[in-house]
Structure 1
């Protein structure tokens, strides 16, 4: 399915078969049909930004739930996934899968400051939710691990 080019986000690079590889979802189950990198919809003439977009299709029309993210946020999410995966590898050491006394799990230096990744203890269901998150990460380990490996290879080529 071709990604629309008549909307405000202007695709430059596209993956138009994302529904073939959308994690655990089959082509029939997913509404995510494509990904693109392009000119951000919020750009103004003379002041352009690039963004990544997840294109969702309801079966009848392109969805308003399609998301557009600045590239740095996409990378920040990738960093968060890697840090969470790394943390969960050792989480078994804690009764609740996290240290209730030390809920900050990573401090990633960025832009002269730091992105602080922590356990969301103001989630009233955190004890159950972290177990569910961990179980899902373990169940999807091959799926996520393959993508992390591909990202690692791509990063080696650009750094």
Structure 2
């Protein structure tokens, strides 16, 4: 396997995508945050004192996707054409899942943007609830699907 973020001397580089074709690209990522029962129910009911936790987390995730190249050194700045963030509740686990889809039409994929959006949304939930529950755990952040580009489709469900 060739690692494309290093030159022949082993020095870090930004991958040159000049000659790549533009294609429609989509990435789907997921991650979870588990918490105590009281916090979980208050988030689900929308009664956390700081406000609309999931609404703020959604906006934070979208902003995270847009700022990925500012955070991850070798990521290209991308024109993102769409970001969708959904929240799924798992009552038996006291867990909220963040599912993110990021789209673009370009020369490089949006996996890092989707992962950044998911983790930013999760961190925002943590930030808004930490006064109630410092034992929350962020886990299982992963790329679930990607499509487009030379490497084609990838599924990890």
Query: TM tier, shorter chain?
Result: under 0.3
Considering Cα pairs closer than 8 Å and 6+ residues apart, tell me whether 1 or 2 has the greater RCO: 2
TM-score with structure 2 length normalisation?
Answer: 0.23
Larger Rg: 1
Larger strand share, 1 or 2: 2
